[in-house]
Chains A and B, each alone.
Chain A
Amino acid sequence: GEDVEQSLFLSVREGDSSVINCTYTDSSSTYLYWYKQEPGAGLQLLTYIFSNMDMKQDQRLTVLLNKKDKHLSLRIADTQTGDSAIYFCAESMGAGSYQLTFGKGTKLSVIP
């Protein structure tokens, strides 16, 4: 079955890099996503990666995918206080399956 796991909390100092990890179980996942949720708000898509890619970089964000180990990570360089939020990893099967399976989210706290 589908299952997405994340650690629940991460605390970093402002200016340091943050690395949020995610593991998934379904090897047929086609797309993997990272969403950001600020308090009381909906989800904002940060980035996504196709399953045949190993890495994707977008400004301060770097996504690494290890398909063999079913491990996904999100690195935020030069973490700022505005990055404090809950980060959700999600997977979809693609090919017309629009459903997303989310992890429980990692709460990132940035210490000034």
Chain B
Amino acid sequence: GAVVSQHPSWVICKSGTSVKIECRSLDFQATTMFWYRQFPKQSLMLMATSNEGSKATYEQGVEKDKFLINHASLTLSTLTVTSAHPEDSSFYICSARDARDLRYQETQYFGPGTRLLVL
């Protein structure tokens, strides 16, 4: 089956620093990747949709200058949390769609998530 990895799996950083999270599709090409944020005991909130070779589409209320998304290749998307603050501490999950997947169910394959703690 399709595998999506994330790196790092967890990160602790000081307030004011930037953190980069990678999302990779390991055995398929992903023209579209999604970035979600999950607070404790909450649902996943879509932050942005990342399309290979073009600018990401951000959801309302998500600061594009704070959460920089780059989707430079068909297997890699990165999310950079710039000038991180304690309120950015969260669980960040990416998902990816297989470019060859023409099935109607449009399945997304999820990464294992990255836990960010900003001190």
Contacts and interface: CB of A to CB of B under 8 A. Distances in A.
Interface of A: 4, 8, 30-31, 35, 40-45, 48, 50, 88, 92, 94, 98-100, 102-105
A103 B43 contact: yes
B43 A94 contact: no
Contacts of A102: 43-44
Interface of B: 4, 6, 32, 34, 41-44, 46, 49, 93, 95, 97, 104-113, 115
Contacts of A50: 104-105
Interface of B is mostly: strand
A70 to B, nearest CB: 18
A94 B106 contact: yes
A3 B108 CA distance: 20
Given A98-B97, A99-B46, A41 B112 contact: yes
Nearest to B97: A98
Given A40-B115, A43-B93, A45-B107, A105 B46 contact: no
